[in-house]
Chains A and B, each alone.
Chain A
Amino acid sequence: MMQLLTSHYMHLLPLIAATSIVYGATRDERPIFILSHIVRSAIWMTVFLGIIMVVLAVLGWLIQ
C-alpha cells in the first residue's frame, strides 16, 4: 500500500481531478448538475484507469 502511495501513480490524481472538473463543468450550467457530472466523471475515469492498471499488472506478473 505504501509502495502505491509513493509511486508515480499518485501523479494521476490531480490530473483526474482537473479533468473531471473541466469535463463535468462543460456538461451543464447549473452548479448542482455540474457537481453531479464532476463526481460521475471522476468515478468512471478512476475505474477506467484502474482497469488498465490491473491489466498491466497482471500482464507484468505473467511475463515475470
Chain B
Amino acid sequence: MVYYESPKNTVRVELGNRYLAALYAWLLPGAGHFYQRRYTKGLLFSITVLTTYFIGFWLGDGRVVYASWKKHDWRWQFVAQCFVGAPTFPALIQALQTDEKSPPLWIRNYRYPPNDKTNPAYSRITEPSELKRLGKSAIPDGFMAAPFGEVSPTEPDVLAAWHAELGHYFDIATLYTFVAGLLNLLVIYDAFAGPGMYLEGTEEEDGESGSAEEDES
C-alpha cells in the first residue's frame, strides 16, 4: 500500500494504487479521490472542475470543445480541455469518425452552403422544407465536432459563422473549458502523489517536502 506522509507527519493519506487513482481522476474529476476514500476532496474537485467545464460548455453553445488538426484550425486548446476526461470523449470520437468528406455524428443543425443564392452563406437552416431543397449540399453542425469543411483565414466558413453567432463568448467559453482541464491536471497529481504540503516544511528548518512511501502494513 502506498501512503503519503506530510513533512511533520501531521497528515497521512492512503493513496491505494496511485496509478489507478490517477486514471480515475482523469476519467472523471474527483473519481480518483473517491477511490482513495478522500470523499470531501473528491466532492469538492468534482463539483468545481465539472461546474467550470459545463459553464464554459454552455456559454459556448457546446461548440468550443472539439478536436481539429486542420491547417487553419489547429485546436491546441483541446490538449488542455481533454484533461477533464470523459466529458470530452465525444469530441475525440468525432475527430476519429469525421473527415473532410464524411459528415459528423450526432448532427445538431444544418447551414446553407456558400453557393446558395437565396440565403446568407453558412447561416442556420430553420425550415425543414429548406433542408429538403438543399439535400446533401446543406452543411452539418455536429455535437462537439470540428467545423465541417475547410477553414480559411480569409474566406467565410463554418468557424467564422460560429464566431459571428457567439461573439466574445466563443473565447470566454474556450477559456473556461481550458482552465477546467488544467485544474483537473492538478487534481490528477493530487490523487497520484497526495497534497503538496511544502509550506508546512518551510516553517521550520527541519522541514522537508512530503513524500509518498510504500508501507507493508
CA distance A58 to B45 in the complex (A): 37
Find chain B residues with CB under 8 A from A30 CB. Answer: 10-11
Are the CB atoms of A26 and B190 closer together than 8 Å?
yes
Interface magnitude class on chain A: 10 to 19
Partner of A29, one of B11, B51, B183, B199: B11
**Selected A-B contacts with CB under 8 Å, 5 pairs:** A11-B172, A14-B176, A22-B187, A26-B187, A29-B41
Which residues 1-53 in A have Cβ within 8 Å of B in the complex? 8, 11, 14-15, 18-19, 21-23, 25-31, 34
User: How many cross-chain pairs have Cβ atoms below 8 Å apart between A and B?
Assistant: 61
Are the CB atoms of A29 and B38 closer together than 8 Å?
yes
The A contact surface, by secondary structure, is: helix
Interface size on B, residues (CB 8 A): 31
Residue numbers of A with Cβ under 8 A of B are 8, 11, 14-15, 18-19, 21-23, 25-31, 34
CA distance A57 to B111 in the complex (A): 40
CA distance A18 to B37 in the complex (A): 22
